[in-house]
Structure 1
Amino acid sequence: MYTMEGPLSFYKGILPPIMSDTPKRAVKFFAFEQFKKFFSDGTASPTAFGLTMAGLCAGILEAFLVNPFEVVKIQLQADRNKFKTQKSTFATVREIVKEGGFGDRGLNKALTSTLFRNGIFNMVYFSFYHNVKDIIPKSEDARLDFFRRFVIGLMAGVLASTMNIPADVVKSRIQGPQPLPGQVKYHGCFRTIKIVYTEEG
């Protein structure tokens, strides 16, 4: 990549995440807190089930917001032209909408896979983090307590990423370039799961 496309090629597709990350995280954490209250049934401490469901619902809402940005990002990253000569982010958006519209063949391609990916990640992350955080006692030392929360968050992130990566692979196959020009091999979440499992294990 460095030789053929230049050093800036490693930053292809950077604008969509920059544009979506701040509102995405705001929506996710706000939604989680609201769903946590909803599933707590008025009790002071939410149950493990309530935390799991709140994380799942927050992830699903997040997915609806980020999926169009993911489609654009994948298209930009798959472009093998040099950074300075490739289409701009907004030109790529116009091309995607022109060719596929706003539905599942255009700007919302692989939405089901993104719903699974974000739903699973947030379900596992929030439920693990909050349940384990409540089990391990707090430390009176502020530095030790920060380290406690850091380690729990790290473990939650690793576990959640491990659980959601299959859905991310499926999403990228659908949103990325197809193996043969003019032929749509990867289309539909469950169809793509079957193809990947059958051909690659």
Structure 2
Amino acid sequence: MNGTQKEPEPGKSKALLQFLAGGSAGLLELLLLHPLDVVKTRIQLQGVHANPEQLQYSGVMDCISKIYHYEGVSGFWKGIVPPICSETPKRACKFVIYEQFKPLFLFGAPQPTALTHAMAGALAGTLECAILNPFEVVKITQQAYRKDSLNTLNVAGKIIRNDGFGIKGLYRGITALMLRNAIFHFAYFGLYQGLKDELPAYEDRFAEFLRRGAIGFFASIVSSVFSVTFDVAKSRIQGPQPIKGTIKYKWTAPTIWTIYTEEGFRALFKGLSVKMMRAGPGGAILMLAYEYGFEYLTIKYC
């Protein structure tokens, strides 16, 4: 695979292969790891003023136990439809943007550096928010409630009727989402490509597979630590408010400050353990599926 990969012609054919590989990688990662996203969201939504529609969870295992006890296995897959609808095109577009815009961030270097990958990744992660945000709002609304398995279209319709399409409705929390994505993807792509270039590659295909997977795992874990505070703020803004009819969490900075003053510094990292449980394998799966998928498509069709 090293040194024998056939490069597709630049332009539409290469972008198409990146689109297909990125979309497939995103869908695979979602299907395997969505239950952990449900657990993470439930924990992050907890504040000092409990929403009556939500149980309180003392930790990750307590959350998993209560979801299973009260909602059954299907409870772990709440909110799966919006990500399925958004993940394939979103990840596909992200990888195309990431690959196509890397030349803009060479800064005079003959080859892409770790900074090149970080900047291109941050740009791609930020731009995808225009597609992602409405699906995130619907997904978190579905994940927040334990009593019913809420229909996706009904939830979306209710949000639009009550709050509209703008920053009070389907695009609420977009600033927090953009900040989360920019920070996460800057660290993730920068670390992954930087370490992959620095650490020696293996001739053995399985050993090389494990090397790339380990780097993706590590890069995603570190990126989660840097971005989790904005993920908590996003969940609070996009999810059900603690007091019905009153908007407590509206903007990113005030939300972070409110969480800090009411719940302490540790609350800014709520859900980090389960986020890392999801992000580590997710980061490995995503890059492995994308890179090997792209290589396969290149060999087969170019």
Per the normalisation by structure 2, the TM-score is: 0.63
Instruction: Report the Cα distance in structure 2 between the residues aligned to 1:80 and 1:199, rounded to whole angstroms.
Output: 25
Alignment match of 1:109 (pick from 168, 172, 188)? 172
Instruction: Report the Cα distance in structure 1 between the residues aligned to 2:70 and 2:115, rounded to whole angstroms.
Output: 50
Q: Confirm or deny that 1:51 pairs with 2:155.
A: no
Structure 1 moving runs of 4+ over 6 Å: none
Q: Confirm or deny that 1:125 pairs with 2:188.
A: yes
Q: Name the residue aligned to 1:32.
A: 98
Change (3 A) 1:145 1:80: closer
| Matching residue's letter, 2:104 | F
Instruction: Report the Cα distance in structure 2 between the residues aligned to 1:118 and 1:64, rounded to whole angstroms.
Output: 12
Query: Counterparts in 2 of 1:176-195, with a 5 A limit?
Result: 176-195=239-258
Gaps of at least 5 residues in structure 1 are none
| Matching residue's letter, 2:218 | M
What secondary structure, in the 3-state scheme, does the structure 1 residue paired with 2:128 have? helix
Gaps of at least 5 residues in structure 2 are 1-66, 265-302
Alpha-carbon shift at residue 41 of structure 1 (Å): 5.0
Alpha-carbon shift at residue 55 of structure 1 (Å): 1.2
Alpha-carbon shift at residue 91 of structure 1 (Å): 1.1
Alignment match of 1:8 (pick from 74, 78, 86)? 74
RMSD over aligned Cα atoms: 1.5
Query: Counterparts in 2 of 1:75-114, with a 5 A limit?
Result: 75-83=141-149, 86=150, 88-114=151-177
RCO comparison, higher one (Cα < 8 Å, 6+): 2
Instruction: Report the Cα distance in structure 1 between the residues aligned to 2:140 and 2:203, rounded to whole angstroms.
Output: 46
Instruction: Report the Cα distance in structure 2 between the residues aligned to 1:90 and 1:180, rounded to whole angstroms.
Output: 24
Is contact 1:124–1:159 with CA below 8 Å preserved after alignment?
A: yes
Alignment match of 1:61 (pick from 127, 141, 145)? 127
Instruction: Report the Cα distance in structure 1 between the residues aligned to 2:217 and 2:69, rounded to whole angstroms.
Output: 35
Is contact 1:4–1:82 with CA below 8 Å preserved after alignment?
A: no
Cα distance per residue 1:41-76 (max 9 Å; x no partner): 575411332222111101101222111100000111
Q: Name the residue aligned to 2:260.
A: 197
Alpha-carbon shift at residue 183 of structure 1 (Å): 1.1
Alignment match of 2:204 (pick from 132, 141, 145)? 141
Quick one: percent identity of the two aligned structures?
A: 47
Q: Name the residue aligned to 1:167.
A: 230
Instruction: Report the Cα distance in structure 1 between the residues aligned to 2:77 and 2:257, rounded to whole angstroms.
Output: 32
Cα distance per residue 1:146-168 (max 9 Å; x no partner): 11111111101111111111111
| Matching residue's letter, 2:203 | E
Instruction: Report the Cα distance in structure 2 between the residues aligned to 1:6 and 1:39, rounded to whole angstroms.
Output: 48
What secondary structure, in the 3-state scheme, does the structure 1 residue paired with 2:225 have? helix
Instruction: Report the Cα distance in structure 1 between the residues aligned to 2:254 and 2:141, rounded to whole angstroms.
Output: 21
Instruction: Report the Cα distance in structure 2 between the residues aligned to 1:140 and 1:5, rounded to whole angstroms.
Output: 48
| Matching residue's letter, 1:108 | Y
Is contact 1:63–1:119 with CA below 8 Å preserved after alignment?
A: no
Instruction: Report the Cα distance in structure 2 between the residues aligned to 1:51 and 1:2, rounded to whole angstroms.
Output: 40
What secondary structure, in the 3-state scheme, does the structure 2 residue paired with 1:159 have? helix
